[in-house]
Amino acid sequence: MTTEPELDPYTRKEASKAAALIWLAASAVAGLGTWVAYDAIPGVNWVLWTSMAVLGLALLLARRGHPLPALPATTGAIAVVIAGGAAISADDFMHVLIVLSVALFLALTMLLASDPRIGQISTVFVITAPFVAAARTVFESITRAAEGSLMVRSHRARSTLRGVVITVPVVLVFALLLAGADPVFATWRDAVGRILESWAFLPRTVFFLVLLAVVLGAYGNVVRRRESTMPADVPGPRLEGDSHARWLGATERLILLGSVAALFWIFLAVQLSYLFGNLPETPGSGMTFAEHARRGFAELTVVATCTVLLVVVSERYGQAVRREGLITTITMSVIAAVFLLLASAFHRVSLYEAAYGFTTARLHAQVFMVVVAITLFALAVEVWQGIDASRLFRRAGLAALLALIVLVYWNHEAWIARANINRFAATGKLDTVYLTRGLSPNAVPVIVELLPSLPEPARAQLQAAVSLRYTGRVRLKQRRWYEWNLARARAVNALEQIGVSLEPVK
């Protein structure tokens, strides 16, 4: 029977130092996260914690002699930039997008720190990244906890633990005695007593332990994989290669793409008179603005999105033949038709906005169409040069990322509020309910700024709606410095100008 060779004292000492360093870094990041994020409203705390999480990983790897590669450093920086939006926007929907996006890019940073090959960034890799990272994190945190329990059994660790057990009661007794002689110590004593009596420390402790497990697992997994002798293709999202089977024959491709191209161009020919026109104003059309815009946007946008997938499948799995030039021409014809359909959908939403005003949903729809249009252009380039699905995905993802960052940092709700209020002079219509209920506090400063430009009774109605919406909104006011948020600070100042109190209504 063979046994595992025991580690020499030097190796055990180095392993203990490495483990202690990982625990220390994870504890520091988890402690910071608990301090600034637990029971706190979004503000600079989000970008502060995200920055420390990425910086902690970089410093930990550098300390172990493995500098963070450029690619995971880039994804980590992107996570920090997106997290910064929490200190800029007061929109809850944007906060949800920020949380999801930051989680995705932190997961990508963790995986790419172990294997920084850009070629593996594909659709499958990105979609599965959060789940793969979560699984690795859970397994690693359990492993690190087990290893930590073994470390405690050493003679030195037992001595340290005994020292802590002896010291804590002594320090507590002295602190309680000093509290009777100093008002500051007495205040601290009373605060600790209230926390213990209310059990308020328990959920905070649970929050810290969960965050510690996540950070410990992520850091530990990256360090273990960087220092192991495992091959580069470790289990996880696989690198896409060119070995995929080409099961779609030339005849099938010609029939499929030719039929789709014919359908699209027939559709364009039939609707040529009103594709970019104003169908609801056409006598006998029997269609309202809402029906024209909603139907057009929904169907045409879905068609454009599905066409991208169709062309990718045709190019990726289609067999190369002597008629490849004809297939490429037909594919380009399909893409050109979809460009026109997408432009029509964009125009229809613009007509709807001109008739009924601007909303975040309509603006987001137009941003999505711009991203799809950029993806279509990238697809046309790929078809012409020879398609690489992973490269196409990265280009489309970059367009989507830039769109998200623009929406997060650009106060588009203020722009929407300004546009809708300015429309009142031409239309005499003002949706006060949407301005005060449909928009977040991001729009409040502009609404207050433009109130004097409105005639009565519209001005009084809008001011009353603002007062009703925000009176007693205590959460708009920051309680701690790390909850500072630019949009909320501006909203609070604007509300104070018109006499709206954020204090609880008694």
- pLDDT tens for the chain, 506 residues: list them: 444 445 455 455 666 777 778 888 899 999 999 999 888 889 999 999 999 999 999 998 888 778 888 999 999 999 999 999 999 999 999 999 999 999 999 999 999 998 888 888 888 889 999 999 999 998 888 887 777 655 555 555 556 656 666 676 777 677 767 776 777 777 777 777 766 666 666 788 888 888 988 999 999 888 888 877 444 444 444 444 444 566 666 677 777 777 888 887 887 777 665 555 555 555 445 555 555 555 556 677 777 778 777 877 777 776 666 567 777 788 888 888 888 888 888 888 888 888 888 999 889 989 998 999 999 899 888 888 877 888 888 899 999 999 999 999 999 999 999 999 998 878 888 888 999 899 999 999 999 999 998 888 888 999 899 898 888 887 788 788 888 999 999 999 999 888 888 777 66
- pLDDT score, position 242: 47
Question: Residue written as tokens 């099961």?
Answer: 247
Is residue 243 a part of any domain in this protein? no
Write the DSSP symbol of residue 434.
I
Question: Based on the domain organization, do 143 and 20 belong to the same domain?
Answer: yes
pLDDT value for 149: 59
* Residue 93 sits in the same domain as residue 195: yes
Tell me, yes or no, whether 184 and 68 share the same domain.
Answer: yes
Q: Do residues 197 and 72 both lie within one domain?
A: yes
378 and 432 co-located in one domain: no
Residues 404 and 416 in one domain: no
The pLDDT value recorded for residue 89 is 92
Cis check: omega of the bond before 283, within 30 degrees of 0: no
| Residue 457: both structure tokens together | 């009774």
Structure tokens at 359: 């909303």
Residue 308: predicted pLDDT: 78
- Check whether residue 391 and residue 423 sit in a common domain: no
HSE-up (13 A, CA, CB side) for residue 105: 25
Is there a domain that residue 35 lies in?
yes
How many independent structural domains does the chain possess?
3
The position carrying tokens 């089977």 is 245
pLDDT at position 235? 42
- Are 404 and 79 contacting, i.e. CB atoms less than 8 angstroms apart? no
Q: Report the predicted TM-score, pTM, of the whole model to 2 decimal places.
A: 0.80
Q: In angstroms, what CA-CA distances link 47 with 77, 86, 96, 124, 266?
A: 11, 7, 14, 28, 51
pLDDT of res. 411: 92
Domain that holds residue 382: 250-409
pLDDT of res. 449 = 92
Predicted confidence at residue 238, as pLDDT, reads 43
